[in-house]
Amino acid sequence: LTEAELIKRHKPHFNILMRDDKRYLALRGDSAAEWPRFSCVRTVKDDGAKYFGPFSSRGQAYKALDLVHTIFQMPTCTRVFPRDFGKARPCLNYHMEKCMGVCKGDISAEKYAEFLDKAGRILDGKYEGLAEEFEEKMLKASEDLEFEKAAYLRDRIAELRKGK
């Protein structure tokens, strides 16, 4: 990664191996949008967005993106929020409990921002406290006899530990 960065910065004349315009993938969290999402990009710009990476392969970048989408049930549809709240029925991912259902308008902007913050912590590699936080919530849910919620949190903890 360092070699590629130096070659792109200094552009040596006789280097033929890395003279193309390809770049490593990074994950972009658009903080300027009202309901931001993560996307894979090749160019890191100074546009105020938060970038995570670079990832040495496309598979690693999409694996990290899938991990965040799985753990926090982030929307993967192409709807524009808040414009599309309640305009159509929720997507199939919502019915399969793989999406939190932002398109229904049930999630507040503050709660969504909290999920994005935690997702950013995972992408930054600061996920030590998240597993313990999920475990505390899981134990509380099981004490309150909310076993479905506890099972959901158990699955998220397993995904988080598997994704490390």
- Decide if pLDDT at 35 tops 80: yes
d(CA 110, CA 145): 27
Condensed to tens digits (0 to 9), the pLDDT of residues 69-83 reads: 888 888 888 777 777
What pLDDT was estimated at residue 163? 67
Helix (H) or strand (E) holding 138: helix 128-143
Q: Using alpha carbons only, how large is the chain's radius of gyration in Å? A: 19
Q: Which amino acid is at 84?
A: D
The verdict on pTM exceeding 0.85 is: no
- What are the residue ranges of helices labelled H in the chain? 2-10, 58-72, 92-95, 109-124, 128-143, 147-163
Condensed to tens digits (0 to 9), the pLDDT of residues 117-142 reads: 888 888 888 777 888 888 898 999 99
